């Protein structure tokens, strides 16, 4: 009787073991068309995990985690792919798992608003807007205390339009204008008390025309003959 019980228990464990084995998904497989399908996991030459994720007919779907060759403890990139498009929500981390930036990507190009974080991984360092992988639209950077340090505009990856810089107490320091990446138009500079120091115009990164300087609160006029 005990012999039969032992056999029954042995068969039960074997069956459970087979069930657990069959429950484990096969990885790194290809479909009938030679496309990656199902769960995939790749390693670096040192056998650390390079990435983990799932494919459907060669397309990434759902959550993908990418790791540094130095550590497999925390992913340095997490991408969440949309099922019916080439878009993905993306987060970048340090090797220690601290959030560095987040936004959306279409293929390998950044699109829309991206947030960048101070080393604490929580306070926002910068907000940028992208179109087809290049800066386009408003861009803001912040001090750790949350006050804005710079507010600028980009067009096709180049500074274009107003740019303002501030001290960490909110006082305006520089009030400039750009065109296609070059200083162009009115420019005003202030001291850390918010008082105007000098102002004038730029043309293609060169000072032009009349510039007015202030010394001890009194204006002094100078003529500028196109100089940097």
Give residue limits of the domains in the chain. 25-97
Give me the DSSP letters along 98-142: -EEEEEEEETTEEEEEEEEE-TTSSSEEEEEEEETTEEEEEEEEE
Q: Is the CB of residue 67 less than 8 Å from the CB of residue 80?
A: no
Encoded tokens for 14: 């074997």
In DSSP terms, which residues pair with 71 in a beta bridge?
68
Q: In whole numbers, what is the pLDDT of the chain averaged over residues?
A: 89
pTM: 0.83
pLDDT, tens digit, for every residue of 22-43? 455 689 999 999 999 999 999 9
Instruction: Please give the chain's pLDDT, 228 residues, in tens.
Output: 444 555 444 444 445 454 444 455 689 999 999 999 999 999 999 999 999 999 999 999 999 999 999 999 999 999 999 988 999 999 999 999 999 999 999 999 999 999 999 999 999 999 999 999 999 999 999 999 999 999 999 999 999 999 999 999 999 999 999 999 999 999 999 999 999 999 999 999 999 999 999 976 677 755 555 555
Q: Is the CB of residue 47 less than 8 Å from the CB of residue 62?
A: no
Q: Provide the H-helix boundaries in the chain.
A: 2-23
3-state helix, strand, coil in the chain (%, to 5): 10, 60, 30
């Amino acid at each position: 009787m005990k012999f039969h019980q032992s056999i029954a228990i042995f068969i039960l464990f074997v069956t459970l073991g087979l069930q657990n084995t069959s429950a484990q998904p096969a990885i790194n497989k290809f479909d009938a068309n030679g496309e990656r399908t199902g769960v995939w996991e790749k390693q670096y030459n040192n056998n650390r995990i390079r990435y983990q994720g799932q494919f459907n007919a060669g397309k990434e779907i759902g959550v993908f985690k990418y790791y540094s060759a130095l550590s497999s403890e925390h992913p340095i990139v997490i991408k969440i792919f949309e099922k019916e498009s080439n878009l993905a929500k993306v987060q970048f981390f340090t090797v220690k798992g601290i959030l560095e930036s987040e936004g959306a990507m279409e293929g390998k190009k950044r699109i829309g608003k991206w947030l960048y974080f101070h080393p604490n991984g929580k306070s926002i360092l910068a907000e940028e807007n992208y179109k087809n992988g290049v800066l386009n639209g408003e861009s803001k950077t912040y001090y750790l205390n949350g006050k804005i340090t710079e507010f600028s505009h980009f067009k096709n990856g180049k500074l274009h339009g107003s740019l303002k810089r501030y001290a960490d107490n909110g006082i305006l320091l520089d009030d400039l204008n750009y065109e296609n990446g070059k200083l162009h138009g009115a420019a005003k500079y202030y001291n850390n008390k918010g008082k105007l120091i000098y102002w004038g115009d730029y043309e293609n990164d060169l000072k032009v025309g009349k510039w007015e300087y202030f010394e001890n609160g009194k204006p002094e006029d100078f003529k500028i003959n196109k100089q940097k």
